[in-house]
Amino acid sequence: MTPPKQPLKILMLHGYTQSGTLFYNKTRALAKHLQKSFPLHDITFSYPTGPLRLNPADIPGYEKTTDASSDDHAEIEAYGWWRRSNTSDPPEYLGLENGLDSVAKVLRTEGPFDGVIGFSQGAALAAMVASLLEQPSRKEAFRYFSDAKTASEGFDLPPSAATTGVKGIEFPESFESEVVSHPPLKFALCYSGFRAPGPRYRGFYEHPAIQTPVLHVLGSLDSVVEESRSRALIEACAGEPEKEGKVVWHPGGHFLPSQRTYLDAAVLFIRKCLEGQTDKGKEAEESVEDMDVPF
């Protein structure tokens, strides 16, 4: 008698201007490769859509048309998890609490999940979600940075904020343990990910660093997310991610690579996380070398 397959549930978080449906189509190669590579698991993917519906003018690179028959205010199927304020200094994510709340609802209704995969803004969100589920230490981190002086230390603030400092945001209510009873994630994959900027969001990343194993997949020609922002997220993860084989570069731009090399890198990483292995030492070096992954 064939033993039942072990469930493996993965939360999929789309990028800014995308949707759950679009991200489903963009990640078919990855999803199929994972299903093929884990024959003893019953893998399911959840593709929620961000709560923020975007207007054409919200889309980067949008140009207003001169065609009188078109409607520049027409609704489009483009969504986000938050908006970055164009006026706040230091930067602020408007609607972040709504984005986190929408993910928390999925965790409650469809979880528990083993891991999360995100792209761009969804990758930034994936790191946040992984961090928030690291209780109780993460809640203590948010409390620690609620002090404006502590949160602002080391940041070059504008004159308007330099005197009083900028305090960190409060721990999101939607992730309180009595609201979301969910264990820490076993893994997170961040494609073109980045760290939220400024003092407000230090609770996600410091005191302590993110403990959940994270694989960072970055494009060497990415012109959308600056390398420094991606490296800031890498540095927010515990250990030495680059030395441990948790940073993979592909020779492309701002997209999720579907070539076999990078699909294999995702499989290897998830397998090690599920087996409870660390990526340290000789074994990890040999595994990465065998896959011919460019760094």
Name the average pLDDT for the chain.
89
Instruction: Say yes or no to pLDDT of 293 above 90.
Output: no
Residue 283: which pLDDT band, with cuts at 50, 70 and 90? very low
Q: Are 64 and 82 in contact (CB under 8 A)?
A: no
pLDDT of 76 reads 77
pLDDT of 55 reads 86
Tokens coding 107: 């965790």
Instruction: Say yes or no to pLDDT of 77 above 90.
Output: no
In sequence order, which residues have a C-beta less than 8 Å from that of residue 245 and are 6 or more positions away? 279, 284, 285, 287, 288, 293
Give the residue numbers marked as catalytic.
120, 222, 254
Residue 279: which pLDDT band, with cuts at 50, 70 and 90? very low
Rounded mean pLDDT, 268-294: 57
Paired with 189 in beta bridges are 117, 215
In three-state form (DSSP H/G/I as H, E/B as E, the rest C), the secondary structure along 202-265 is: HHHCCCCCECCCEEEEEECCCCCCCHHHHHHHHHCECCCCCCCCCEEEECCCCCCCCCHHHHHH
Distance CA(103)–CA(125), nearest Å, equals 9
- In degrees, rounded to 5, the angle at the alpha carbon of residue 123 between the alpha carbons of residues 6 and 44 is 20
Q: What is the pLDDT of residues 95-151, one digit of tens each?
A: 999 999 999 999 999 989 999 999 999 999 999 999 999 988 899 999 999 999 999
Domain boundaries, the chain: 6-58+75-291
Paired with 42 in beta bridges are 7
User: Tokens 């309180």 correspond to what residue?
Assistant: 176
Tokens coding 120: 């761009």
The CATH class for the domain spanning 6-58+75-291 reads alpha beta
pLDDT of 74 reads 54
Tokens coding 4: 């039942």
Q: What is the pLDDT of residues 227-245, one digit of tens each?
A: 999 999 999 999 999 999 9
